[in-house]
């Protein structure tokens, strides 16, 4: 029996990882074995690890090792063995995979171009993560950009759509925390393209990334974390990708009486995350992208929101060629280096990390 290589992450100390080999599972009827080809690593994966218990990301790919789990990644895989009538050997799929060399799925048909994993442990988890899209006819040259951008830009677009759906909460200023993150950049791009926008876009970022955010041209103003107290005291919304408790507390204090809504999206600053911190003004609420997807399915009908997300992703991907540099890492062990940089906040926002398994 062959082995599966996995990169396990400590579920309580998420900067700690180890490479292990475990026996391949024997397929049951209706299952398929996927060989993972390539995937992206971004701050999104750090958020998955940091919120693994709170939101349930450790449940997608369970492991028998106590205190060690598989961080989910977005990428591509090829079917190499199948006892299923739904997928065939040689087909490729884009979707949500474990940080590993192999993945066993129990697929059922989900529309003409997709399948859904109905493994028992995933039935009660958010459906959007259980859907895998055929990519057999897509050129492999586009894989890195799709793996890097699609899940992040989907969140960016859904945030934009949610803000628009709520009439911007009447804000004159939308502040985006961790504006150098790809999700943050995507949101600033969508907001900047909104015709006759009634608000200013403020990118909040570190001194190290301030010039980069400013050069992209999406924000009306760039403010560093050190200068939060310089924010204009006008009706505002805070969209927080970082989860930095100190910054959140200071921003709420500065905008007390002016802040209409505070939404938590990511925790790229996971080591400074303080979920129970007391803040002035509205209590921060977590943004759960699948909820907005379900709302829009009811509003617009089947397939419309997915089409809009696809079109939005292509827009950002085309623009990203002017600022995004791809860096390829060969092998799962090599994936541990960019993950460590992302988890420690040292990754360059101009670089996109793709792992070739």
- The model's confidence at residue 85, banded by pLDDT at 50, 70 and 90, is very high
Residues of the chain with CATH 3.90.180.10: 3-138+324-356
CATH 3.40.50.720-classified regions of the chain:
149-291
Give me 278's structure tokens. 């007391």
Summarize pLDDT for 113-130 with one digit per residue, the tens: 899 999 999 999 988 899
Report the length, in residues, of the chain: 357
- The rounded distance, in Å, linking the Cα atoms of 232 and 212 is 22
CATH of domain 149-291: 3.40.50.720
Mean pLDDT of 54-66: 92
Contact 79, 106 (CB under 8 A): no
Q: Note the pLDDT of residue 303.
A: 79
The residues near 257 (Cβ < 8 Å, ≥ 6 apart) are: 233, 281
Each residue of 36-51: pLDDT tens digit? 999 999 888 988 998 8
Give the per-residue pLDDT at 307: 86
Token couple for 170: 């009447």
Query: 215 exposed, middle or buried (CB, 10 Å; 0-12, 13-18, 19+)?
Result: exposed
Asked if CATH classification 3.30.465.10 holds for the domain at 3-138+324-356, the reply, yes or no, is: no
308-339 residue pLDDT tens: 988 888 888 888 878 888 899 999 999 999 99
Residue 348 has pLDDT above 90, yes or no: no
């Amino acid at each position: 029996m062959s082995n599966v290589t996995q990169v396990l992450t400590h579920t309580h100390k998420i900067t700690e990882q180890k490479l292990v080999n475990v026996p391949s599972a024997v397929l049951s009827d209706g299952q398929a074995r996927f060989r993972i080809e390539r995937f992206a690593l971004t701050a999104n994966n750090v958020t998955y690890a940091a919120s693994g218990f709170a939101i349930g990301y450790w449940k997608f790919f369970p492991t028998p090792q106590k205190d060690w789990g598989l961080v989910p990644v977005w990428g591509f895989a090829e079917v190499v063995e199948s006892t299923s009538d739904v997928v065939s050997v040689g087909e490729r799929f884009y979707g949500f995979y474990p940080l590993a060399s192999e993945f066993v799925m129990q697929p059922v048909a989900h529309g003409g171009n997709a399948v859904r994993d109905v493994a028992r442990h995933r039935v009660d988890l958010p459906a959007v993560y259980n859907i895998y899209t055929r990519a057999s006819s897509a050129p492999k040259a586009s894989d890195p950009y799709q793996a890097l951008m699609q899940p992040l830009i989907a969140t960016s677009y859904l945030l934009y759509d949610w803000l628009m759906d709520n009439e911007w909460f009447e804000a004159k200023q939308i502040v985006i925390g961790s504006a150098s993150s790809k999700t943050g950049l995507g949101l600033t791009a969508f907001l900047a393209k909104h015709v006759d926008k009634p608000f200013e876009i403020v990118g909040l970022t570190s001194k190290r990334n301030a010039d980069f955010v400013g050069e992209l041209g999406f924000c009306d103003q760039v403010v560093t974390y050190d200068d939060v107290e310089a924010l204009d005291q006008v009706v505002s919304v805070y969209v927080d990708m970082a989860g930095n408790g100190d910054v959140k507390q200071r921003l709420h204090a500065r905008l007390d009486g002016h802040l209409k809504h505070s939404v938590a999206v990511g925790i790229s600053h996971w080591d400074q995350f303080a979920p129970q911190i007391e803040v002035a003004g509205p209590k921060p609420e977590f943004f759960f992208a699948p909820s907005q997807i379900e709302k829009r399915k009811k509003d617009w009908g089947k397939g419309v929101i997915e089409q809009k997300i696809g079109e939005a992703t292509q827009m950002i991907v085309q623009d990203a060629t002017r600022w995004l540099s791809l860096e390829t890492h060969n092998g799962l062990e090599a994936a541990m280096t960019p993950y460590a940089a992302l988890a420690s906040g040292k990754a360059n926002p101009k670089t996109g990390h793709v792992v070739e398994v």
